[in-house]
Amino acid sequence: MLATIQYRSKKLQVDLSKPIDISIPMQASKKNVNAWYLDPPKIEPVKDGDWIASVKEGASINFNNIHFNPHAHGTHTECVGHITETLYSVNKELKQFFFLAEVITVAPEKLNDDFVISKKQLQFAIGNKKRDAIIIRTIPNTKEKLSAQYSHTNPPYLLEDAAVYLREKGIQHLLIDLPSIDKEKDDGKLLAHRAFWNVGGSLRKHATITEFIFVPNSVVDGIYILNLQIAPFNNDATPSKPILYKIENL
C-alpha cells in the first residue's frame, strides 16, 4: 500500500504494508531488557478477594495491572523534562510524528576505561546530509540487546561534543540502541542530554531522545521515513514504538 508523504519540496513514497519496527517490546520477565538497577516490569491480573481477573483463572476477562519504568524497561522517548525542574511532558511537546531519518552504524571507540561515540564518528557517518532524525545502531549488534541487563556494566555513550554536533546539525530526534546517551555513572552531569536539549540556552522542548531501540542487521544504513509512535503519558518519558519505512522512489 503506497502512500505519498510531502517533505519540503519533495514527494516521497513509502509502502505502509512494510513497516520496520525498531522497538523492544516489554514483557514481565527477567529476560526483559533492563537498566538503572530496577526489578523487571510486572504484568499481573487484578485481584479482589478470591477473584482473579484472568480468564485462565475463571474470570470472563483478562484485566491486568502493569508496573514499569519507561527509562529502565524498554524502548522509550523522552523530552527535556527528563532533566529540568519544570515538568515538561513528551506527550505535549512532541506534536509531529513523521520525520526524514538517517540510520547510521557506529562502532564505539575506546576512551580510557569507556567506549564512546565521538563527534568525529558522527561527522563521518552523517556528512552533509540534512535530516530530522538520526538513528544510531552500535556494533556489535546482536540479539542479546533484546534482553541485556545493563546495570553496573558501563555501556557505551555519546561524548558531549557529539551531542553538540547533532544539535548544531539541526537533528530534532535522536534514537539510539543504548540505555542512555550518557555515561551510566557520571555523578548526575548528563552532559550529552544537556547539550542535545541546549540546557542553559534556548531549550529545545520539541526535541526528543529515544533510547533502547534495536535496529536489525537486515536494515541497511541510509534514509528512511520515521514514524515515532508514543504512548500518551503526560510524563517526561513514555514507552514508544518507532517505525521505519523504506522510501520507494529515491
pTM, rounded to two decimals: 0.97
Residue 21: pLDDT above 90? yes
| DSSP codes of every residue in 66-130 | EE--TTTSS-EEE-GGGSSSS---HHHH----EEEEEEEEE--EEETTEEEE-HHHHHHHHTT--
Residue 250: pLDDT above 90? no
Domains of the chain, first to last: 2-27+70-246 (3.50.30.50)
Specify the pLDDT at position 178: 98
Q: Which residues contact 89 (CB under 8 A, 6 or more apart)?
A: 79, 81, 233, 234, 235, 236
Q: Enter the C-alpha cell of residue 93.
A: 511537546
Q: What is the mean pLDDT of the chain?
A: 97
Q: pLDDT band for position 1 (50/70/90)?
A: confident
- Closest among 165, 181, 173 to 98, alpha carbons compared: 173
Specify the pLDDT at position 158: 98
Angle between helices 160-168 and 119-126 (to 10 degrees): 30
Specify the pLDDT at position 166: 98
Q: Which amino acid is at 196?
A: F
| DSSP codes of every residue in 179-233 | S-SS-SSSTT--HHHHHHHTTTSS--TT-EEEES----TTSPSEEEEEEEEE---
94 neighbors 102 (Cβ within 8 angstroms): no
209 neighbors 180 (Cβ within 8 angstroms): no
Q: Which residues contact 197 (CB under 8 A, 6 or more apart)?
A: 79, 80, 83, 167, 203, 204, 207
Q: pLDDT band for position 8 (50/70/90)?
A: confident
Per-residue pLDDT of 183-208, as tens digits, reads 999 999 999 999 999 999 999 999 99
